[in-house]
Amino acid sequence: MSAAIPVDSKNSGHPIGVFDSGIGGLTVVAALRRTLPGEKILYLGDTARVPYGGKSPETVTRYSKEISDLLVAEGAKMIVAACNTASALAVPSLSLSYPVPLVGVIEPGAAAAVLATRNGRIGVIATRATITSDAYGKAIKALDPAVSVTAVACPLLVPLIEEGLFDDDITRTMLRRYLEPLLRAGIDTLVLGCTHYPLLKSLIGRVCGKRVTLVDSAENCALAVRALISPSGSVLPEGESRLDVLLTDSSEGFLRIAEKSLDLTIDSLNIRKVGK
């Protein structure tokens, strides 16, 4: 991410493009809202093809490029992949030649975890594709080779979250099953390696207990975006703050739940077809 090009100052009034496989990436939008309150944000949730976690790297890369191209065509000055699977599998290759900055959430989350751990044992929960890529393990080890990383794929969490089951017996049972090996390994820090997961943060915290620090990359990703928009660290001028949302299939019920949970105001909502 550090190699990403700064945002062109001529595009200062253009929106930040953000995408995820569904609605979960609105957790990153909420962090961007807090960090960059004067920015326009154009969010695309690929609700027709969610989840990305079980798809091949080639498919995830194709989806990510189709969405990024659409957001750029709509005037986005940069692209934020608010999706850990896309960040792990697509961003490294796409960002090398993309016409605007394209950043993901892996490196900010890894950096926050390394800073947070006290005993050097970090756990990661994510989709199967993110875990298989070992993107977090590699990023964490690059920062501190002495840290131990234990990762567990949680393929059922995104569908449960998309159904709005934030505090349900089924969700609680699955979390206990997924988290048990991590807690047995003695982790003191847990990376929520999917942007959907912060919507379960309260429940995850209760299952893990107070000794485990929860890390989601949304806040650190927002800081990385600010650094690209204002490399000098200067105070950014207030602009026309608005949030426009595009979905690739109707998912308005859960969208409204997420909107309320994250204290977001959506200015417009439209359905947009992406790809073939």
Contact at 8 Å (CB) between 162 and 254?
Answer: yes
DSSP letter string, the chain = -TTPPPPPGGGTTSPEEEEESSSTTHHHHHHHHHH-TT-EEEEEE-TTT---TTS-HHHHHHHHHHHHHHHHHTT-SEEEE--HHHHHHTHHHHTTT-SS-EE-SHHHHHHHHHHH-SSSEEEEEE-HHHHHHTHHHHHHHHH-TT-EEEEEE-TTHHHHHHTT-TT-HHHHHHHHHHHHHHHHTT-SEEEE-STTGGGGHHHHHHHH-TTSEEE-SHHHHHHHHHHHH-TT-PPPPP---EEEEEESS--HHHHHHHHHHTT---SEEEE-----
Residues with active-site annotation:
83, 194
The C-alpha angle with vertex 81 and arms to 203 and 188, in degrees rounded to 5, equals 35
